[in-house]
């Protein structure tokens, strides 16, 4: 083979594709009209059904009301002992209630539990008025925050989820909100797992059936109106794996309870966290020009893990892409190429980096190395596959 042909071969990009056995993906069947089941760590969709179709959130909208209140607490603008005054409007609001007295002062701590545990419409309106002056102004803050979080199809017309012509969302957007709540407020999130709350000598249980369902759930919120049907934003954790689940459009309380518990348990049994590539694993090698060593091993800069079902794991493909040579000096961790994982038809990209340092040659060794290159070309190593 001529040296010119060899050189062009070395300058070409190294591309290797590893393909696994194909098997059929298991189906999830559910009576819920709208579904989004999401891996909390990555935001990857594990299962979806009508996830981007507009729907009414009902009291699941109160998650955003709580989110904005948590923000005020985290910034130090409010404390749990601060008090808001109960307006006539809040006191008269129908639906689920915390039974607040008009004109009374209620602590932020009690209002939060009134919303989270009891789904109190009165408590949500008191919070809205206490933060923004009016519920309409607060609803505008809710909509703005939704856009900031990437909830692209959500608009709020009030703080409670009470039926109106404005308020609309999607299952995907509510999953995004649930994930943000858990991620951004770990110090306050445990409130969602409280089983009951007593106010004004009236004890009400948490309305979330997942809390009592034996599936390691710790949140988040139910909702129901005639227009929306019965819905739920739930989250549970088993081991190091957390799932966020949104269901809506079911026909009864019992259906919501049974379906949410069944789907949460099924999700953890079907979808497992898989370490696909470990930090330090040598993916392959590339040649080094004018270095102390002729090749450098290539790896990833951290463990790569995904939550997936067995079928997705078996049909996953990996491809690597990097130059066939790189000039010294090379630093450990220096980005060299890219790893692509194709999972269920979607591509995920990760940087590939040098696994070790390769110093450049000292000046007096350059002439000999250059002559060696003219005679033998660059040292070449093939990509190593697992």
Please report the pLDDT score of residue 289 as a whole number: 78
129 and 263: one domain? Answer: yes
Residue 28 resides in a domain: no
Please indicate, yes or no, whether residues 107 and 139 belong to a single structural domain of this protein: yes
Q: Is the omega angle on the peptide bond into residue 152 within 30 degrees of 0, that is, cis?
A: no
Domain stops at, among 270, 296, 331: 270
Catalytic option among 32, 119, 228, 235: 119
Q: Is 164 found in the same domain as 148?
A: yes
Query: Is 62 known to be catalytic?
Result: yes
Residues 7, 54: one domain?
Answer: no
0.75 surpassed by pTM: yes
Catalytic residue among 56, 62, 93, 318: 62
pLDDT digit string (tens) for 315-373? 999 999 888 888 889 899 999 999 999 988 889 999 999 989 888 775 555 555 555 55
Q: What is each CA distance from 178 to 127, 143, 188, 285, in whole angstroms?
A: 19, 15, 13, 42
C-beta separation of 128 from 138 below 8 A = yes
Are residues 186 and 86 located together in one domain of the fold?
yes
Domain stop point among 270, 303, 335: 270
Rounded to whole angstroms, how far apart are CA atoms 177 and 184?
A: 10
Model confidence at 102: pLDDT above 80: yes
Specify whether 228 is located in the same domain as 358.
no
Q: Is residue 119 annotated as part of the catalytic site, yes or no?
A: yes
The CATH number of whichever domain residue 124 belongs to comes to 3.40.710.10
Tokens of 212: 């009592």
How many CB atoms are located within 10 Å of the residue 273 CB? Answer: 16
Same domain flag for 250 and 292: no
Q: What is the dihedral of CA 299, 314, 243, 348, to 10 degrees?
A: 40
d(CA 117, CA 207): 7
The answer to whether residues 262 and 368 belong to one domain is: no
Q: Distance between CA atoms of 332 and 297, rounded to whole angstroms?
A: 10
87 & 217 share domain: yes
> Mind listing the pLDDT tens digit for each residue in 172-229?
999 999 999 999 999 999 999 999 999 999 999 999 999 999 999 999 999 999 989 9
pLDDT digits (tens, 9 = 90+) for 270-306: 999 888 988 888 988 988 877 788 888 999 988 898 8
Q: Is residue 385 part of a domain?
A: no
Q: Which of 212, 236, 270 is the last residue of a domain?
A: 270
Tell whether 311 and 340 lie within a shared domain: yes
Range of the domain at 250: 34-270
What total of structural domains would you count in the chain?
2
Band (pLDDT 50/70/90 cuts) for residue 23 is: very low
Q: Which of 32, 59, 159, 235 is catalytic?
A: 59
Same domain, 164 and 94: yes
29 within domain boundaries? no
CA distances from 31 to 34, 51, 164, 252, 255 (A): 9, 14, 26, 11, 9
Instruction: Answer yes or no: is 84 within a domain.
Output: yes
Whether 383 is in a domain gets the answer no
């Amino acid at each position: 083979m001529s040296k010119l042909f060899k050189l062009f071969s070395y300058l070409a990009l190294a591309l290797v594709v590893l393909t696994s056995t194909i098997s059929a993906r298991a189906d999830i069947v559910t009576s819920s009209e709208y579904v989004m089941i999401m891996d909390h760590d990555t935001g990857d969709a594990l299962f979806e059904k009508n996830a981007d179709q507009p729907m009414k959130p009902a009291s699941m909208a109160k998650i955003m009301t709580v989110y904005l209140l948590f923000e005020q607490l985290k910034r130090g603008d409010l404390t749990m002992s601060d008090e808001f005054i109960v307006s006539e409007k809040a006191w008269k609001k129908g639906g689920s209630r915390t039974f607040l007295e008009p004109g009374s002062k209620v602590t932020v701590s009690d209002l939060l539990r009134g919303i989270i545990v009891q789904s109190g419409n009165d408590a949500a309106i008191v919070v809205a008025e206490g933060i923004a002056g009016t519920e309409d102004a607060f609803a505008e803050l809710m909509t703005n925050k939704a856009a900031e979080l990437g909830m692209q199809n959500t608009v709020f017309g009030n703080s409670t989820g009470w039926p109106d012509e404005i308020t609309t969302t999607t299952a995907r957007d509510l999953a995004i909100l649930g994930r943000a709540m858990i991620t951004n407020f770990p110090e306050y999130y445990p409130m969602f797992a409280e089983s009951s709350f007593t106010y004004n000598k009236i004890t009400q249980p948490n309305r979330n059936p997942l809390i009592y369902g034996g599936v390691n759930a710790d949140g988040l919120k139910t909702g129901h109106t005639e227009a929306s049907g019965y819905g739920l934003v739930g989250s549970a954790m088993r081991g190091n794996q957390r799932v966020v689940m949104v269901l809506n459009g079911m026909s009864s309380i019992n259906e919501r309870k049974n379906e949410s518990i069944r789907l949460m348990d099924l999700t953890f049994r079907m979808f497992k966290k898989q370490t696909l590539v470990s930090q330090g694993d040598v993916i392959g090698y590339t040649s080094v020009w004018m270095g102390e060593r002729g090749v450098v091993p290539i790896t990833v800069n951290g463990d790569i893990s995904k939550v997936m079902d067995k079928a997705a794991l078996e049909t996953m493909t990996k491809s690597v892409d990097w130059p066939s040579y790189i000039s010294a000096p090379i630093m450990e961790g220096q980005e060299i190429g890219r790893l692509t994982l194709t999972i269920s038809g979607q591509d995920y990209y990760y940087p590939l980096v040098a696994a070790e340092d390769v110093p450049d040659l000292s000046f007096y060794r350059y002439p000999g190395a250059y002559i060696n290159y003219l005679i033998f070309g660059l040292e070449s190593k093939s990509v190593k596959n697992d």
